[in-house]
Amino acid sequence: MTLLDINTIKENYLIFIKNEWLSTSNLFPDFMSAISNETKLQNEHYIQNVFHNFQRQIKSYPRTPIGRNKWKQATENMLMDVLYNEMVLDIHQSIPKQSLDALQEELKDFLRQLRSFAPEISFSEIGQALRNYIVYIMFKEINQLSTGFSSACFGYSMLYPFTDNYIDSKKYSNKQKAEYNQIIRDKIVGKEIHPDSIHQQKTCDLLQMIESKYPRNDNPMIYSLLLNMLDAQENSMRQQNSGSLLTADERLDISLYKGCISVLIDRYFVDKEITEEDMIFYNGFGFFLQIVDDLQDIKEDSIQGNQTIFTVDLHSDNIEKITNKMLHFVHQIMQTYQAENDKVKNFILFSCYQLIFSSIVGSKEFFSKEYLDKTESYYIVTYPYLEKVRGNQITNIDFKNQTKYMKILDGMLK
């Protein structure tokens, strides 16, 4: 029996991760280092300068082809300068220049493929797919591997905006969602399919990208994982059913199952044998990423009646205890994992802390002022500045300007 056998995952690793979560402290941790106000202000000044320079550069995009090559080179030089010299996250201290060069080229390949395959999707959806692919890249870095662009992981990453947004949408009935999932299931098991929409066809095309890299007969485990990911998504639809109240334990199990399977698939695409220690780490990390999503979406979930571990009790005391557990939990799984590359692992851990704190700001009405003040001490900038930056994000810009920025992106990728 392999470690990726679904019964082994459910009966051993998911139970282990669940018990680890339940036994984790809900007190505010003492293992993080506060960031001084002076450093925060320096970070804000640096970010503001970078933002201003890029704004100015984008506004100077030539309207005609003349001069675009020169503009593109200047923009790439600005991006490289940020990547190799920024002092806010200090990624260049954890990942060597050679790997950063490879990372930059791999992300360009990803975006070129994305713009060719799905030119209709928004910047928000691009970000959704890109975040998953970056998780895969970080997994490669942890394992000290550099294998270039993966069409299989591209296909899997693009399934996020294609499937999650469809399943979560209120525009489609449960019957439509069930039919959509059945098409996906038939494709995964190798049945003949008859898509009746462009969306269904493209979803199947993404699955075909995985199959082209990992033929079904030679790689049965990836198809088992994909089927269980589909099962986890279907199970998560129960969270949208306000007519049937889920217990806290049921909500936890849904998040655990979906998060763990999701990240195990990313790890499968890393060309290295999976150990028992890997199974504990990647299952735990997948669960963490899932509940971070839930932390970010407390307001939206509470309005729509979605049942997550955070919406069981919306009092700040409960929300804060869960958030404390998240900090302890991700610290524990990272510290106990013997990675090939500790520098990258520590960078990811610091980034996880920052992700939690930024998510707190997105759901700040559910936290006490005392808790916001306390957690702000550990964030790389002040919370008011973070909110200001978020208001300027490209995903918040109107459709007309998003179209303009897409054209500029295409120009950069040529």
Q: How confident is the model at residue 1 (pLDDT cuts 50, 70, 90)?
A: very low
Contact 379, 35 (CB under 8 A): yes
Say which residues have a Cβ less than 8 Å from residue 64's Cβ, sequence separation at least 6. none
Q: How confident is the model at residue 398 (pLDDT cuts 50, 70, 90)?
A: low
> What is the model's pTM?
0.92
Computed over every residue of the chain, the mean pLDDT equals 92
Q: Residue 395: is its pLDDT beyond 60?
A: no
Question: What Cα–Cα distance (Å) separates residue 352 from each residue in 195, 379, 401?
Answer: 39, 11, 31
Kindly give the interhelix angle for 369-376 and 316-336, rounded to the nearest 10 degrees: 30
Q: Residue 117: is its pLDDT beyond 70?
A: yes
Q: Residue 394: is its pLDDT beyond 70?
A: no
In angstroms, the CA 263 to CA 235 distance is 17
Average pLDDT for residues 204-217, to the nearest whole number? 96
Q: How confident is the model at residue 238 (pLDDT cuts 50, 70, 90)?
A: confident
Q: How confident is the model at residue 357 (pLDDT cuts 50, 70, 90)?
A: very high
Q: How confident is the model at residue 405 (pLDDT cuts 50, 70, 90)?
A: confident
